[in-house]
Amino acid sequence: MACDISHKLATESIYSKVISMPCQELFDQQISDYRDKVLTETKLVVSIEASETNYWKKYTGTNGLNFGINDFGKSAPYKEIYNYFELSSESIIKKIKEKLWK
């Protein structure tokens, strides 16, 4: 999904970089220059997670965006759940553009 969003943003001349972070503990162990370079290459830091988002806030900061599913109790095929929680490419792109153009 993140790669799809990045490609769609590129068609509108919005630069983005997709970074996969399968292990936050390993990322946190890297030297601070590396971590800072990765997290400050773009104006806006965004996390996309198919679960709870609070633990991403230490990377996205107060100005970043976090997309995920913070509420539970819904049951349906994943596409319906993603749409319900606005975890679709279209919804995320819209919110990214709104944030960038504020």
**For residue 61, what is the domain's CATH number?**
3.40.50.920
Domains held by the chain: number = 1
From the DSSP assignment, how many helices (H) and strands (E) are in the chain? Answer: 6, 2
Task: Give the per-residue pLDDT at 94.
Answer: 97
Domain range spanning residue 53? 2-100
Express each pLDDT in 12-70 by its tens digit.
999 999 999 999 999 999 999 999 999 998 889 999 998 899 999 999 998 999 999 98
pTM of the model: 0.88
Instruction: Yes or no: say if 44 and 13 are a contact pair by the CB < 8 Å rule.
Output: no
Contacts of 56 (CB under 8 A, 6+ apart): 47, 49, 66, 68
